[in-house]
Structure 1
């Protein structure tokens, strides 16, 4: 059976060869896979990172250099090289759009703008024709859809062991440097009535709060400005509708011949890597992409896309993870930072938001920055089967405590058992804490991570106490205990503790906590009747 998504509990999971699969990904730089020999020089190093899926592009210009003539030799060599190293592939279709432009379309498209019209924007006081294909012209979408269908048909015919497990349709689509296309056909459509199918969806669907905040009042009918109001936010919605229709048509052509999971990625509307929020305007990022406030537009317009996937480089990692679970959307993060900041937060994505996968971008260039992924993906790999089972049963919770902020304890209920989670105490400088915990049976929890502590209570009149904590690792699925923790390491079995890698004892002369070793332990609890009220 081909790779597919399956609804389990309150989420969806990716199935590969009819088994649930947790994506531990890495996206390569755009040109790494443009030459098989160069790619082969990179792949051996990725094996050390516990990665199981590599995200890499295939471009329209490579597979259809002449109209109607297709060449898949490069792609076949790439797939075989990746397969031989034991990886799967998340294939990125660089068709009409890449980072909001059309740099990867074939020469025969680039050199014929009369047949394949470009978008028009208002820039520096003038109307300017861009390098980007217009979403309003039949020739553009028809040519892209034909090429994508041939690509998907080739995968269906040749990739019998499912090396390719999903495909991204286009890349960070949207108008650049303006909030909408200003061509004659775009202007005409903008003045026409909003499509009834969109208005019907907005009337009946559970809408995202981000949409309702921007558009608190939506009229029942009329032009785009009559329904949503005048301004760049409405122009962005207009472009979102037509980009969604364009991309969905390309996706439909491919899915007709090979229905594996398809997703759209998006450049977010917030400045990257800043300590405070700096929201961008629609002319400062690709206007028309599937953002939290436009996701409902895409929900109404598409029926062949399985996931809307954020490229998260901003500090608001957790916020965007939460936003992209709207409407039951399965969370896949095809691009994120390769530094410690994102590496510490992957546990939140897999645990709290039940992510299908996370993939740092450009891991093939600066290996030192990506070193934490080697450790963290190594932990996730050991317990991937437990994570998938816990996601399906809603018995998992992921979290992160920032070393730059005051620690606020978290509370999560596993049925009648409540976990109270906090950053581990430090006598010196506070350190970050992160991980995920899973309830694998009534009285057994498995946890991974560093720098946090867990205490348990019951929602009934019972007491919950820790019976034992086993530190260790899973080797080929079998548990190997390295230590039985007690005393200082568990505060005499009153707390389930995950030490920091380098604890800071400050001026305190007693090193009360042994540094982290495996970052993985099993906590066995017991529950009994509390006969004398609250335990002091």
Structure 2
């Protein structure tokens, strides 16, 4: 009998372990962090619904079939506290259930966005019973003492009300989706941050601001001083590098110290929310940030949110957060993404302005930064046509998913993104250089020279072997040269419409004599498709005019393709 009981316990333990492994989770592969869904690495080819687009069952039923046609595999859906708990203590999950049902009907996954105590700083999605009782659930105050429609992160009552609703929401997901895993991740709150002032100036906030910095943070700074974000390291050292004292004594007396203080308390609040949610259903969880852009200062932008320069504060106060994600609506896409793909932060873009260039930007995120996902905002407003660039992009990225995830974190994949001003990038692997350019650096399309604004071109390159490359995307051209050849070559020759060099624009004579170094030639360029198991299927050989007689591999600006390139050497 004892042996039977032991066997039963072992079987139950194994079943629990299997279920735990089946729940969406993270794994490391080389330098990359991967999201695992149904035990396979998963790339979020997403779109976020507009703020009010999931507030009625009719809208959900209307929108979700369109999202499938657009090529998404994941939709980011708001979960509204005010509609979930309109009456205190009474929960209605009908919108949640309808979204999950429609996602299953349309072969989509869901990332739910908890619009709880804060959405874009404000507490606009808190229920009316919460808003009206401002004594029980106090607001933050500006330096002048003005109350704002922003719930106080210093109030235990605020936290308990928010956490109670969030825990009920997570419990409902566990009960209704714990086996199917339609829901793969949770965003906790939305674009947290203090406005008008860099920090809360309520009585409780002031008391804590004038108290010593918590030992936990001081120890973190000391133990991680070599890997701190450069901004924080510089600010701390310029204030003396102290390991005890008040916030102003440790970090200096300015608005950015106010921001650090506020970030600590926002992050501490979110950590408690995450632990409450995970106690009932352990899904991946992240936070998103409104950018500190356009020259604004804390309070002009949402101060103290999960911004790149505050990543150490957020990591220390909220170790349960899986990643800090940027919402991108400003120029400088490549610079912003580089700020958030850090050694301690995988890159996920939950919001970006919906525009045609998103198609190539998605390729760049996965190729350059081993990205987890990409998600334009207000996705339901995208054109419902199969040739929309994002739809074309997502179709190819779905094909490529088993290949991209196989090579993530191994140092053999790069992203490309070009525009009219930034039109060339050189990639280097061993003795091989890939000279990558915007497609319109070729003169064969009238839009390259007629004054048209160039659409962005971009894609990804995977080095599959020393002489074998996979190139995918749109609007790019790639040449291959050995380092020796590149050192002996002059600037790029200017070509005419017939593909030959313009008069007087060829390679200029050089006093450096060719020494017989090996050159790299293109053996073949094949357009391919990718099967579900990651194997390649031949579509057509691109030769002659299609690879400029063996000079390059290229993909036009109006198309998305996957090319397999084999190289060889000669002299």
TM-score (norm 2): 0.83
Question: Which has the larger share of helix?
Answer: 2
Q: 2:326 aligns with which of 290, 306, 310?
A: 310
Between the aligned partners of 1:252 and 1:360, the Cα distance in structure 2 is: 29
Please list the CA deviations of residues 160-205 of structure 1 after superposition, one character each: whole Å capped at 9, or x if unmatched: 2100000000000011111110101111111111112112222232
The alpha-carbon deviation at position 111 of structure 1 amounts to 1.7
Structure 1 unpaired stretches of 5+: 271-277, 502-516
**Residue 400 of structure 1 contacts residue 434 of structure 1 at CA under 8 Å; is this kept in 2?**
yes
**Residue 409 of structure 1 contacts residue 422 of structure 1 at CA under 8 Å; is this kept in 2?**
yes
The alpha-carbon deviation at position 476 of structure 1 amounts to 5.6
Report what 2:37 is aligned to: 16
The alpha-carbon deviation at position 105 of structure 1 amounts to 1.3
SS, match of residue 88 in structure 2: coil
Q: 2:522 aligns with which of 451, 462, 466?
A: 466
Report what 1:525 is aligned to: 567
Report what 2:26 is aligned to: 5
What aligned pairs does 1:402-413 form with structure 2 within 5 A after superposition? 402-403=419-420, 405-413=421-429
Distance 1:138 1:416, change over 3 A: farther
1:373 aligns with 2:390: yes
Structure 2 unpaired stretches of 5+: 1-21, 485-516
**Residue 210 of structure 2 contacts residue 247 of structure 2 at CA under 8 Å; is this kept in 1?**
yes
Report what 2:374 is aligned to: 358
1:324 aligns with 2:340: yes
Q: 1:296 aligns with which of 312, 316, 339?
A: 312
The alpha-carbon deviation at position 230 of structure 1 amounts to 1.2
SS, match of residue 96 in structure 1: strand
Report what 1:248 is aligned to: 271
Between the aligned partners of 2:280 and 2:63, the Cα distance in structure 1 is: 32
Please list the CA deviations of residues 83-110 of structure 1 after superposition, one character each: whole Å capped at 9, or x if unmatched: 1111000100011110101111122211
Between the aligned partners of 1:258 and 1:465, the Cα distance in structure 2 is: 55
Report what 2:12 is aligned to: none
Report what 2:63 is aligned to: 42
Distance 1:233 1:341, change over 3 A: farther
What aligned pairs does 1:177-196 form with structure 2 within 5 A after superposition? 177-196=196-215
**Residue 416 of structure 1 contacts residue 458 of structure 1 at CA under 8 Å; is this kept in 2?**
yes
**Residue 11 of structure 1 contacts residue 328 of structure 1 at CA under 8 Å; is this kept in 2?**
no
Please list the CA deviations of residues 368-421 of structure 1 after superposition, one character each: whole Å capped at 9, or x if unmatched: 799321121122112111111121433211111112x153432243x5644332
Quick check: 479-488 or 310-319, which moved more? Answer: 479-488
**Residue 423 of structure 2 contacts residue 438 of structure 2 at CA under 8 Å; is this kept in 1?**
yes
**Residue 358 of structure 2 contacts residue 390 of structure 2 at CA under 8 Å; is this kept in 1?**
no
Q: 1:117 aligns with which of 106, 119, 138?
A: 138
Between the aligned partners of 1:366 and 1:13, the Cα distance in structure 2 is: 28
The alpha-carbon deviation at position 340 of structure 1 amounts to 2.7
**Residue 354 of structure 2 contacts residue 378 of structure 2 at CA under 8 Å; is this kept in 1?**
yes
Between the aligned partners of 1:297 and 1:11, the Cα distance in structure 2 is: 23
SS, match of residue 127 in structure 1: coil
**Residue 10 of structure 1 contacts residue 328 of structure 1 at CA under 8 Å; is this kept in 2?**
no
Quick check: 345-354 or 355-364, which moved more? Answer: 345-354
Quick check: 355-364 or 32-41, which moved more? Answer: 32-41
Between the aligned partners of 1:362 and 1:227, the Cα distance in structure 2 is: 42
**Residue 167 of structure 1 contacts residue 262 of structure 1 at CA under 8 Å; is this kept in 2?**
yes
Please list the CA deviations of residues 470-529 of structure 1 after superposition, one character each: whole Å capped at 9, or x if unmatched: 12434666645443112232232232222333xxxxxxxxxxxxxxx5522111223x5x
Instruction: Give the number of the structure whose alpha-carbon radius of gyration is greater.
Output: 2
**Residue 473 of structure 1 contacts residue 518 of structure 1 at CA under 8 Å; is this kept in 2?**
no
The alpha-carbon deviation at position 440 of structure 1 amounts to 3.0
1:400 aligns with 2:421: no
**Residue 214 of structure 1 contacts residue 293 of structure 1 at CA under 8 Å; is this kept in 2?**
no
The alpha-carbon deviation at position 71 of structure 1 amounts to 2.3
Report what 1:422 is aligned to: 437
Between the aligned partners of 1:48 and 1:295, the Cα distance in structure 2 is: 37
SS, match of residue 393 in structure 1: coil
SS, match of residue 114 in structure 1: coil
1:166 aligns with 2:166: no
